Amino acid sequence: MQAVSSWLLSIAGVIILSVLCEFVLPDGQINKYVRLIFSFITLFVVIAPLPKLVGINMDFSDFYTYDGGYQEEYLYELNSNKLNALTENLNSAIAEQGYSGVVVSLSANVFAEELELYDVYVDIESASFGKGTTKEKAKEVITDILDYLNIPIEFSS
């Protein structure tokens, strides 16, 4: 009984929506096409439960799924943009902490479906942390920043 009432509500909803659109749209060519589109939608809503009544299980998801993979050029462009944005965000986060001259570079697989970060390089060779700051103190500061950004840390010399 629940299925029948929801089916009838769907039909009523589509018809009410089509009538409202017909009132809003001016008379002319476009009104004719909108009426045609709503006729198809109404027809589809009316016949949609028929395969279940007959006992046929129709799965329409097979018709519109795409499993051919992603294009490499698109993935490269998308992931490169993500990588550049992430690098800029890291550099701005470090600059907001008051440290200049720190260069962050990221190593990643830009051809994967999801951006895979391999390494984060933080160059503090030309960084200015203020007077009397040692490189160990600079490493501490960079470690704190990268910890804050949830990036694993491994120092190399």
Query: Does a structural domain hold residue 155?
Result: no
Question: Residue 72's pLDDT is what?
Answer: 77
Q: Are residue 124 and residue 104 in the same domain, yes or no? A: yes
**Domain contains 142:** yes
What pLDDT is attached to residue 47?
87
Q: What's the confidence (pLDDT) of residue 1?
A: 72
Q: Say if CB 122 and CB 139 are below 8 A apart.
A: no
Q: Nearest-5° angle of CA 93, CA 155, CA 107?
A: 65
SS3 content of the chain, % helix, strand, coil (to 5): 55, 10, 30
Q: Is residue 24 part of a domain?
A: yes
Regions of the chain where pLDDT drops below 70 = 58-70, 128-135, 138, 145, 148-157
Q: Does residue 6 fall inside a structural domain?
A: yes
Q: Examine the fold and report which residue of 30, 64, 98 is the final residue of a domain before the chain moves on.
A: 64
Q: Are residues 7 and 49 in the same domain?
A: yes
0.85 exceeded by pTM: no
Provide the 3-class DSSP secondary structure of residue 153.
Answer: coil
> Could you read off the pLDDT of 49-93 as tens digits, one per residue?
887 777 777 666 666 665 555 677 888 888 899 989 888 887 787
Residue 156 lies inside a defined structural domain of this protein: no
Q: Say if residue 51 is in the same domain as residue 118.
A: no
**Burial annotation 94-109 (CB, 10 A radius, 16+ → b, else e):** beeeebeebebebebe
Q: Given this model, what pLDDT does residue 131 score? A: 65
| Position 153 in a domain | no
| Same-domain pairing of 94 and 47 | no
Residues 13 and 57 in one domain: yes
Amino acid identity of residue 104, one-letter, is V
Quote the CA–CA distance of 113 and 63 in Å, as a whole number.
23
Domain enclosing residue 44, as ranges: 2-64
Based on the structure, what is the number of domains in the chain?
Answer: 2
Residue with tokens 């944005």: 85
Q: Read off the tokens for 156.
A: 């190399």
Cα–Cα dist 126/128, whole Å: 7
- Local structure of 28: helix, strand or coil: coil
Q: Is residue 157 domain-resident?
A: no
Element (H, E) at 72: helix 72-96
